Structure formats: C-alpha cells, structure tokens
Amino acid sequence: MTFPLTRRHLLGGAGALLVSGRAIAATAAKEEAGKGLAFEPNSFGKLAAPKVLPPLSVKNEQDQDVPLSHWYGKPFILHFWATWCPPCIRELPSVNATAKALGAEGPQIVAVAVRGSTIPKVRAFYDSHGIDALPLLVDPLSAVMMETGDQTALIQSVRQVRPDDLKSLKPDVMSLHGVPRSLILNAKGEVVAESIGNMDWSADAVRHTVQALAG
C-alpha cells in the first residue's frame, strides 16, 4: 500500500488520525502547547484480549531482518515513528532519554521508523539528535505497524484522552497508519494496549504503565 504525499503529511499530524482537518488541527494545537499525553494506563486503549501476532520482522541498519520475537520474554514497548512526521521528530529525543534511564532492566523501548523513513534518513536523524539508546530499525512498508495495530483499542485511547477528536469521526475512517504510536506487548509478545499521539515520556511512567497493563 502506498502513501500519496498529501496523505503522508496528514498522517504526520499530532492526532495521527486520517480524519477531518478540524480534528487534526485541534490535536496538533494541544500537542504544540504541552508535552503530550500523560504516559499512564488511561492514555492507552486496552485490547479485549491480548493480540497474538504472526511471525514479524523489522529491518536493522545492515538491512537484515530482526524478528520481533527477539524482544519476547519481558513486556516491552513497540514505538512507531517517522522521519517525515513533525510530532515524532519532537518526541523521539524524550523517548531516547527514557530508554537510557530505563537501561538494561527495561522495559525495553523498540523504536521502529515506518514507510518513507529509509535507513540513511533514520541514521542521519539519530546522529543529528544524539539518539543513542534506541535501536535503529525500520518497517519499510509499514507492514508490521499494520499487523500489530488494533482499531478498537486505538479508538478507545482517543475517546479516553481526546474525546473531542471523535465528534466528527466514525470507526471506519480511523487510520491504522498514524504515527507516533506506542504499543505495549506482554512477555509472550502479544499486544495488550495501544496509544496514538505524542506522549510525556519518563522512566517511572513507563515502568508503572507497562506493569499495570502487561504485568
């Protein structure tokens, strides 16, 4: 599936929803004014049942396949972003700082750049912004993001923290392509919760939220 340029720019909106311009603009204004959504359980939409994933892989800097199962065994965060997404660009340094503060004990933050974010572009961004605690990974066709996403959880997360964005929306027009997006996976590698839009990252908040939602 391809992204026309105009649609790609829309998908980079802070609300990360393929919706009316009014909803995107409203969410963008909120995120420009503050740090983003609180990183807490209520900012995530919880799946009715953990989502079992098929074998999925992302690409590393050497263009090698890295299976998501590499991170199974402990709960972790799968964070999708893009080099063409202004909210993602603003947010990723704080994601990196949080990953550094969490250290090896975790939970681990697995950052994955989606379609349009090539390995050279991601490397250039990492170098220019001092991103040194996150893996350099890409999802060239956004296939992993599509497969892991859950539209019901996505709508729930928006309803809980940005209900005004849903006034003119119906579930069938919600986008599964929006970034930034954070998913919480349990130790089995099952998706248990999802949130979309910029967040206010901190190590303590991540520990608390992952423990509450993934055990």
pLDDT at 177: 61
Question: Can you give the CATH number for the domain in which 209 is found?
Answer: 3.40.30.10
pLDDT tens by residue, 160-202: 887 777 665 555 445 556 899 999 999 999 999 999 889 999 9
pLDDT at 163: 78
**How large is the average pLDDT for residues 55-65?**
98
Whole-number percent of the chain with pLDDT over 70: 78
**How large is the average pLDDT for residues 91-108?**
96
Q: What is the mean pLDDT of the chain?
A: 84
Helices (H) and strands (E) in the chain, counts: 7, 9
Locate tokens 């390995």: which residue? 119
pLDDT at 142: 94
pLDDT at 89: 96
Q: What is the rounded distance in angstroms from the CA atom of residue 145 to the CA atom of residue 164? A: 25
Q: What is the rounded distance in angstroms from the CA atom of residue 212 to the CA atom of residue 209? A: 5
Structural domain total, the chain: 1
The residue segments making up the domain with residue 29 are 5-214
Strand pairing report for 181-185 and 76-81: antiparallel
Q: What is the rounded distance in angstroms from the CA atom of residue 135 to the CA atom of residue 27? A: 29
The model's pTM: 0.84
CB 159 within 8 A of CB 199: no
**How large is the average pLDDT for residues 69-75?**
97
Q: What is the rounded distance in angstroms from the CA atom of residue 33 to the CA atom of residue 43? A: 18
pLDDT at 154: 85
Residue 12 confidence class, pLDDT cut points 50, 70, 90 = very low
More confident residue, 137 or 173: 137
